[in-house]
Amino acid sequence: MKYPFTKKYQEEKYTSMMMGPHPLKLCEELLLESKIHKNAVVCDLGSGQGLTSLFLAKEYGYHVYACDLWSDPNENQAFFYQEGMKENQLKAVKADANHLPFEKEFFDAIVCVDSYNYFGRDPQFLDEKLLPYLKKDGYIYIAIPGMKKDVHDHIPEELLLSWNEEQLDYIHDIPYWENILKQCKGAKIIKIQEMESNEEVWNDWLKQENPYAIHDRLSMEKGAGKYLNFIQIILQKK
């Protein structure tokens, strides 16, 4: 697919902020048929250094809260100011996904690119920790790294060149996520499927001289990519 929005972010100052397979391409594909209206209040959950947050605010016109536990919100906010964004358009917030510091039903939508698998594997997470902050009929858009077919019972050696078993436990196939999501009482599944951009976003990441990208090459250059994919999940609050 083509990525007209992402093409605006090819400068090194943006690509150097990548923390995994190209987050903007994942985000753009995820929102291809978005039901989120312009000027919506959106949570970018697990926003890292804020690259996807900037993308959501600039390209889609959302009022975005960049929520991340590990990045420095002051540094992120300074980056947003440098990009011409005002705080009422894009605000950095230090936040734990399990303890969001917002009023109930605060958000029109929640977007989560390449991080939901770290905190969303608990079947109770959606109902107890996330949905209370989403307005009725609001949408959740998720893109997560996954497996084409679960191989945890016999992990191929090429995967173990870059990741250990504990790290790989964060990555699962579509049936795994379907089982978790079907236990949610407060939201319905609109879509769950493999993403088209998988190979391309990985190639973009592996070109980076980031030490994590260099380490990931060990597995990917030995063919580990044949086991991996990205999964998109779209949910709507009942």
Is 81 in contact with 113 (CB distance < 8 Å)? no
- Asked whether 63 and 42 are in contact (CB, 8 A), the reply is yes
Q: Is residue 29 part of a domain?
A: yes
Q: Are 74 and 50 in contact (CB under 8 A)?
A: no
97 lies in some domain = yes
**125 is a domain residue:** yes
Please count the other Cβ atoms lying within 10 Å of the Cβ belonging to residue 16.
12
The token pair at 198 is: 């998988």
Strands 107-113 and 228-237: unpaired
What pLDDT tens digit does each residue of the chain (238 aa) get?
999 999 999 999 999 999 999 999 999 999 999 999 999 999 999 999 999 999 999 999 999 999 999 999 999 999 999 999 999 999 999 999 999 999 999 999 999 999 999 999 999 999 999 999 999 999 999 999 999 999 999 999 999 999 999 999 999 999 999 999 999 999 999 999 999 999 999 999 999 999 999 999 999 999 999 999 999 999 999 9
Q: Is residue 163 part of a domain?
A: yes
Query: Does residue 1 lie in a domain region?
Result: no
User: Interior CA angle at 210 toward 204 and 214, to 5°?
Assistant: 80
Instruction: State residue 50's pLDDT score.
Output: 98
Q: Which domain holds residue 176?
A: 6-237
What is the number of domains present in the chain? 1
Outline where the chain has alpha helix (H).
12-15, 23-30, 51-60, 73-82, 116-119, 125, 165-168, 174-181, 198-206, 211-220
Instruction: Please give the model's pTM, rounded to 2 decimal places.
Output: 0.97
Please report whether residue 62 resides in a domain.
Answer: yes
The domain spanning residue 154 has which CATH number?
A: 3.40.50.150
> Domain for residue 55, yes or no?
yes
Residue 69 falls within a domain, yes or no? yes
